[in-house]
Amino acid sequence: MTATLAVEGLKVAIGAANVLRGVSLDVQPGEVRGLVGESGAGKSMLGRAVLGLLPANTSVTAGRIAFEGRDLLAMAEAERRSLLGRRIALIPQDPMTSLNPVKRIGRQIGNLLRHHLGLSKRAALARTTELLAEVAIHDPQRVLALYPHEISGGMRQRVLIAMAFACDPALVIADEPTTALDVTVQRQVLQLVERLRLRHGSAVLFVTHDLGVVAKICRSMTVLHAGRVLEEGETTNVLVRPRHAYTRALLAATPRADRPAEALRPVPPDLIDQLWSEAYRLDQVPAVGAA
């Protein structure tokens, strides 16, 4: 079976500095994979690379990103664009800034449907109403006619989730979609993602720094540090028997309901030093196959 997403030896550099140093990772059809790591580990950069959203001075220097067996980096611009938003979708991090402030909600969703699915205006409207109902918005007719600033942050994130699943994507990249929301809303959003991915049969790459979230909804996970994969496997295995000291440290820093709160233990500095010097050493080694 072809993997929905197969990233192989991906290297991404900002100017001369490497942020991803040869990352490989698979997402199988219907799988929910957590991608965890602290800030700066490169987890968001990976999502951006898949979506073709790398910042201006940033570039892929090596590796392959295959979607359903086809290399996204090698394909023609038009072909890639026809996949984005339709077969590969994004749930963005900040719902406050991710909707166009001067367009009504209904129009933003409707445009997407008409652009990718070629629906008529009327069909798009009907589908939009369904989608909003699917993300538990009770009065879709009213919300359709509202502007983003007229609805709450949680509601905006639900709209964005509806847009992500609008065209039955094979892969949804969720880029820390709960970070900007408060805790009660976070739970609703997670439940929604879970429900919609089941209904639409999508695989999800869930980028987060929150191991609690991963434990809740991801079957498998990948731990990223300093641009490299430290550990990966079934979520239960990784969380119960972390093989790497860094994962243990991350785990210890995650608050849990089933044990009393303890003092926040930072990742040991010597471990960080060790990881970084290792990363630096790897940087110096020429990539395999490079002249």
Which DSSP category does 150 fall into? G
CA nearest to 220, candidates 62, 3, 2, 70: 3
Q: Minimum Å distance from CB 242 to other proteins?
A: 32
Closest CB to other proteins among 147 and 179?
A: 147
Residue 139 has a CB neighbour count (10 Å cut-off) of 9
Closest CB to other proteins among 25 and 51?
A: 51
Closest CB to other proteins among 104 and 244?
A: 104
Cα–Cα distance, 196 to 71 (Å, whole number): 27
- The secondary structure of 217-284 as a DSSP string is H-SEEEEEETTEEEEEEEHHHHHHS--SHHHHHHHHTS--TTS---PPPPPPHHHHHHHHHHHHHHHH
Q: Minimum Å distance from CB 163 to other proteins?
A: 8
Closest CB to other proteins among 115 and 244?
A: 115
CA nearest to 269, candidates 247, 251, 246, 248: 246
Torsion 189-205-4-88 (CA) sign = positive
Closest CB to other proteins among 102 and 288?
A: 102
Closest CB to other proteins among 97 and 277?
A: 97
Environment class of residue 17 by beta-carbon count within 10 Å: exposed (0-12), middle (13-18) or buried (19+)? exposed
Q: Minimum Å distance from CB 119 to other proteins?
A: 15
Q: How far is C-alpha 169 from the geometric centre of its chain's CA atoms? A: 13
Q: Minimum Å distance from CB 95 to other proteins?
A: 10
Please give the residue ranges that form the binding site for other proteins (CB under 8 A): 51-53, 56, 80-86, 89-90, 92, 94, 97-103, 111-112, 115-116, 147, 149-150, 163
Q: Minimum Å distance from CB 77 to other proteins?
A: 8
Q: Minimum Å distance from CB 257 to other proteins?
A: 33
Number of residues in the chain: 291
